[in-house]
Amino acid sequence: MSKQGLLIVISGPSGAGKGTICQALLERDSSFCLSVSCTTRPPRSGEKHGINYYFVGKEEFQRLIDEDQLLEYAKVYDNYYGTPRQFVVEKLAQGRDVILEIDIQGALQIKQKYPQGILIFLVPPTLSILQERLTKRGTDSPEVIAHRLNCVCDELSNTSQYDYLVTNDTVEHAVEMIEAIIKAEKCRPLHFDLQKFLTG
């Protein structure tokens, strides 16, 4: 039987670079699995259904909630986001490490349901750099950017409930920090494979 994989939750303000960091982790280590979330928001330019998100209507999202098919879900910036349960449970049971790129509300739900999950909060070096990143991204109106920046202080007030905080000054450095966290977590006694030790 495979040893249970790690559930790694990465959160942070919009524009902190979560998607870029997750993609870099996957490119450096193919053993990771990235869970694809469902959302009711429309796709941004270049985003693809089933790769970036599962883009669904509000009725379909409500059906997933009613049938308990979501590990967590939350309303963020007037849209709903959620993590399909079956994929995560299956991959963890196979011994694969699963990365969830989700918001704070969802992360705290995961912490309650799955306390052994590793919660990592990603932040930009400064608020002005975050504003610059959001503006350069070119996907949101000035009003939406202003709303997201206003939400940052509230989001940061929840970081004490996370296990780790990583500053995304450069992608390379942030990825190295997260890899170090994962290596350290795998050294915890609860992840020791006693059966393999006794029989191997």
Rounded CA separation 35/33 (Å): 6
Structure tokens at 66: 């009613």
Q: Is 18 annotated as a binding residue?
A: yes
Q: Is 50 annotated as a binding residue?
A: no
Q: Is 107 annotated as a binding residue?
A: no
Contact status, residue 11 vs residue 103, Cβ threshold 8 Å:
yes
Residue 46 backbone zone (phi > 0: left; psi -120 to 50: alpha; other: beta): left
Q: Is 16 annotated as a binding residue?
A: yes
Q: Is 12 annotated as a binding residue?
A: yes
Rounded CA separation 61/94 (Å): 27
Q: Is 57 annotated as a binding residue?
A: no
Radius of gyration of the chain (CA): 17
Contact status, residue 111 vs residue 18, Cβ threshold 8 Å:
no
Nearest to 21 by CA among 128, 114, 96, 120: 120
> Which segments are annotated as binding site?
12-19
> Which segments are annotated as binding site for ATP?
12-19
